[in-house]
Amino acid sequence: MADRIVKLLNDLVETAKDGEKGFLAAAEDTRDQNLRGLFQDRATDCGQSAQELQTLVTRLGGTPETGGHMAAAVHRGWVHLKAAVAARSDADILRECERGEDIAKRHYADALREPLPEDIRDLVERQYTGLMRHHDQIRDLHDRYRERA
């Protein structure tokens, strides 16, 4: 059981690391100072989530992941290439952030469908609740910025 939980937690570590890197990239790409601050804050939140999960993995005797998913790295590379080729609007950046949050939601929802010890479930649920709140904020901002465009 511990190996299964370590694997599940490491998947969430990678998910959180993907979010951290994605939001840092978004902070670099945006021209809006308010969005830059939001993206930097969100990157910090993702980094803290990854650290909490890594601590659990270590406590369970596993080796914590330190990076993100390969597919996310490829996606970020493509996003940066598109940004270099064409000036991206803040609505475009927010759309990419929302897409990333949608992926993270799926990973967390999948994890919560698994049987987990109570303390681990509590942590994953707390992180999922924060993720949902941030997702909705990003979605609402995306809708507003898209309407302005």
36-54 mean pLDDT: 97
Q: Which of these, 111, 121, 134, lies nearest to 45 by C-alpha position?
A: 134
Per-residue confidence (pLDDT) for residue 74, from 0 to 100: 45
Q: Which of these, 83, 72, 71, lies nearest to 46 by C-alpha position?
A: 72
119-147 mean pLDDT: 96
87-126 tens-digit pLDDT: 678 998 999 899 889 999 999 999 999 999 999 999 999 9
11-40 mean pLDDT: 93
Burial class (CB in 10 A: 0-12, 13-18, 19+), 85: exposed
| Residue showing tokens 């992180």 | 127
The C-alpha atoms of residue 3 and residue 62 are separated, in whole angstroms, by 8
| Residue showing tokens 């698994």 | 114
Domain-by-domain residue ranges, the chain? 2-148
Model confidence, pTM: 0.87
59-98 tens-digit pLDDT: 999 999 987 665 555 445 545 545 544 567 899 899 989 9
Element housing 146 (H / E): helix 118-148
Residue range 2-148, CATH number: 1.20.1260.10
